[in-house]
Structure 1
Amino acid sequence: MRIVRHQEFGAPSVLRVEEADTPVPGPGQVLIRTEAVGVNFAEVQRRQGIPIGGPATLPGSPGGDVAGTVVALGEGVTRVGVGDRVVTGVGSDGYAEYVVNRADWLFPIPDGIDAGQATSLPIPAQTAYHVIVTAARMRPGESVLITAAAGGIGHLLVQLAKALGAGRIIAAASSRDKLDFAASLGADLTVDYSEDGWDERILAATGGRGADVVLETVGGSVLTASVGLIAPFGRMVVYGTASGEVPAVDVADIFDNRTVMGFSMWGVMAHRPEAMAEGAKRLLELVASGEVRPVVHAELPLERAAEAHALMEDRSQLGRVVLVP
C-alpha cells in the first residue's frame, strides 16, 4: 500500500509517498480502507520537529482522522462489522491507503455527510466540544470570543457555540474571507486580529467588558491581547499556539476574577476517557440535526501531502484540509 512518511524534519517537501505492507489487525483492532484522512496542525508541527502530545521522532509518519470502510476484523471484535463505514483518529501511519486502529475508538459516519466531512469528527470536533464544554464550561447566554475562527477547529467552535446557546459570538481571524466565512456559520461580530487595535474594537463593542469565554489557539501577541478581553469571572482556554510563540501571562492581568487555563485533547483521553463517549454522542446528534456541519476546504491526493501541509502552515484554509488516497 501507499503511505506518506518523512525521514527528516523540515519543510513540507520532506513528506514522501512510500510503499509499505498492508497492516494486519490484532486483537480488538480493525483494518480500515481509507477514503479520506483529515490533516491536523499538530502533524504539521511534528513534521517540523516540534513535540506535540509526545516526542517528534524519525522516521515520521503523520497521523490524522481517517474515514473509510472496515475490511477486516481482529480477534474479539464484535461492535463493528466488515463493510461498516467509520472514522477514527490515529496517532501515526494515518496518511495511508489502509489503517489499523482499536475498534472501541471508532465513530460511525452519520448519514448525510461524506468521508471528507466525517474526518472532522474524531480529533477536531472532539477538541472543539471539550474546549467549550469540558474546559470553558460555557453556559447559555454567555458571550464567546473565538480566535482562528475559520480553521479546522475554529469553524466547528463557532457552530458549537451557537448550537449550545451562546449569547454573542465574536469571531477573530486574519482576513476578510475568513471573517465572512465565520459570519456565515453564525458569528455575530467579526474582527481581523492582523490589524492594529483589534482588541480595542472588541472591548468597545462589548462596552469595555470583553467576553465571558475566550477560546484561543494562535499564541504570540494574539494570546497576550486576548487575556485583556476576558470579562470579569470569565474563562480563557488556550488549546494551541499555531504561531509557535508561547508568551508568558502576567498574573496581575487575571486578578480581577479571570481564569486562564490550558487544554490538551490527549489529557482528556488519558484522564477523562468517559468524557470521550459523551462528546461523541452529543456531536453525532448535532451533526445529524444539521446544527454542526464540518466544512472541507480542499481534498488532495496523497501525493500532494506537502501541499496540504503548506496550506495549514499558511493558515489560509476555510475549514478542513483532507487527503484522499
Structure 2
Amino acid sequence: MRAIQINEFGGPEVLTPVDLPEPTVGPGQVLISVDRAGINYADTHNADNSYLAPATVPFVPGGEVVGHTPDGRRVVALTGNGGYAELAVAPEPFVFDVPPSIDDVTALGLIVQGTTAWLLLRQSAHLEPGESVVVHAAAGGVGSLAVQLARAMGAGRIIASASSPEKRELALSLGADAAIDPAAEDLTAAIREANGGDRVDVVLEMTGGRVFDQSLRALAPLGRLAFFGMASREQPSHLDPRNLLSHSSTVAGLWLPHAFTKPGLVQRALTDLVQAATADTLHVIPGGEYPLSEARRAHEDMLARRTTGKLVLDPTR
C-alpha cells in the first residue's frame, strides 16, 4: 500500500513516501479505499509534534478521507491519522455517507473545515443577526466557509482578513463587506476602520501572537473571540483576566474532537452544511489537488500561505 509516513518530527521534509502493509481493521472500525485525502493545517502541527494531541513516530498523517467501503458505500470519514494512504481505517461513528450531489472535495471540505466554521459561529461565538464578524484567514478552508455561513446566519457586517490582494478579493466575492491585511502595523485600528470606526462583536481567529492580541483589543463590550488554531506558533500575550473584564470580552477555544463528545452536535452541523451545499448556497473552494507523492509540496505551499480553499491528495498518483 502506498502511503506517506513520518519517521521523525520536523517540517514538510519529514513527509516520506513509503510502501506499507494494508491496515488492520479492528472491531467497530471501517476499511476505506481512499479516493481523496484531505489536507488540513493541523497536519503541519502533527508533523512537527506541536498539535494538541501528541504524536508518536512513525505514523501516517491525515485525519480525513473520502472513498468507498468494501460493501460499496461512498463515505467521508475522520481517521485521526492514517489518511495519507491508499487504504485507511476509521471508527464507525466517524464515517458518514456522502450524497451523490456532493463531490469529493466538497465532502472533505465540509467534514472538518465546514463543521469547524459552523461550530465557531453557532457554538463558540453564538452569532446573533446583525452582529459584526471578523474572519481571519478568510481565503482558507475554514475562513472561506465561515464568511459564507456568517452571511447566511444574518451577520450585519463581515470583515475578512487575508494575506494577499488575491485572497482578499476572493473573500469579498464570497460575501465579505470589507477585506484587510492582517500584517497591518495596527491591526486593531484596521479592524475598527473596516467597521466604520466601531468595535466588532465577533472575531474568528487561528493565527495567535499579535493577531490574537490586536483582535482582542478590537472587541466591543460583550464581544466574543473564537480561537481555533495557532498557525504562527506564537503565544498570545494580551490574554489577561483584567483585559477581559475591561470590555466584558469572551474568549472561546474550539478543538473539533471535543464536538464529538456531545451527541448529535456534529451530525446536526453536517446536515445543515450538506443541505446548503446541495442547494448551491454554500461552496467549498477547491484549493488544489496534489499527488500523494507530493504531500511535502502541499505542506510547503500551505505553510508559505500560497494556498486558498480546500487542499486534497490523490492516492493514485
Same fold (TM over 0.5): yes
Aligned match for 1:278, one of 263, 268, 282: 268
What amino acid maps onto 2:56 in structure 1? T
Q: Following TM superposition, by how much is the alpha carbon of 1:216 offset from its aligned partner in structure 2, in angstroms?
A: 0.5
Matching residue of 1:165: 154
- What does residue 247 of structure 2 align with? 256
The equivalences for 1:305-324 within 5 A come to: 305-324=295-314
Q: CA deviation at 1:283?
A: 1.4
1:221 maps to 210
Which is worse superposed, 25-34 or 40-49? 25-34
Q: Which residue of 2 aligns with 1:79?
A: none
Letter in 2 for 1:313: L
> 78, 87, 111: which is aligned to 2:76?
87
Partner Cα separation in structure 1 for residue 160 and residue 207 of structure 2:
13
The equivalent of 1:199 in structure 2 is: 188
Match status 1:180 vs 2:169: yes
Judge conservation of contact 1:151–1:315 (CA < 8 Å) in 2: no
Tell me the CA shift for residue 111 of structure 1.
3.4
Tell me how far apart the structure 2 counterparts of residues 58 and 25 of structure 1 sit (CA, whole Å). 20
Offset of residue 25 of structure 1: 3.1
> Which among 116, 119, 130 is matched to residue 141 of structure 1?
130
TM-score normalised per structure 2: 0.94
Alpha-carbon offset, residue 274 of structure 1: 2.6
Match of 1:269 in 2: 260
RMSD: 1.5
CA distance in 2, matches of 1:279, 1:101: 20
Length-normalised TM-score, structure 1: 0.92
- Work out the CA distance in 1 between the residues paired with 2:230 and 2:11: 18
Deviations 1:268-298 (CA, angstroms, capped at 9, x unpaired):
223x233112112111111111221111111
Q: 1:207 to 1:186 in 2, by over 3 A?
A: closer
Asked whether the equivalents of residues 212 and 236 of structure 2 are also in contact (C-alpha less than 8 Å), the reply is: yes
Q: Is the 8 A contact 1:53 1:266 kept in 2?
A: no
Q: Do the aligned partners of 1:107 and 1:122 also contact (CA within 8 Å) in 2?
A: no
Counterpart-to-counterpart distance in 1, 2:161 and 2:2: 39
2:141 to 152, 156, 176: 152
Q: Which residue of 1 aligns with 2:55?
A: 56
TM-aligned CA distance change 1:205 to 1:16, over 3 Å: closer
Cα distance between partner residues in 2 of 1:244 and 1:56? 17
1:3 is the counterpart of 2:3: yes
212-221 vs 261-270, which moves further: 261-270
Task: Give the fraction of aligned pairs with identical amino acids, expressed as a percent.
Answer: 39
Q: Partner letter of residue 290 of structure 1?
A: D
**Counterpart AA for 1:40:** N
1:242 aligns with 2:241: no
- Identify the range of structure 1 (200-209 vs 285-294) with the bigger mean alpha-carbon deviation: 200-209
Quote the Cα distance in structure 2 between the aligned partners of 1:61 and 1:179.
34
What code does the residue aligned with 1:29 have?
Answer: Q
Alpha-carbon distance in 2 for matches of 1:139, 1:239: 20
**SS state at 2:202 partner:** strand
Tell me, what secondary structure is at the counterpart of 2:313? strand
Bigger drift between 166-175 and 275-284 goes to 275-284
What stretches of structure 1 of length at least 5 have no aligned partner?
72-81
- Report if aligned partners of 2:62, 2:80 keep a CA contact under 8 Å in 1: yes
1:24 Cα deviation from its structure 2 partner: 4.2
The C-alpha deviation readout for 1:181-205, integer Å capped at 9, x for no partner, is 1111111110011132343132123
CA distance in 1: counterparts of 2:194 and 2:29, whole angstroms: 52
Number of corresponding residues: 313
Within-5 A mapping of 1:67-146: 67-71=66-70, 82-146=71-135
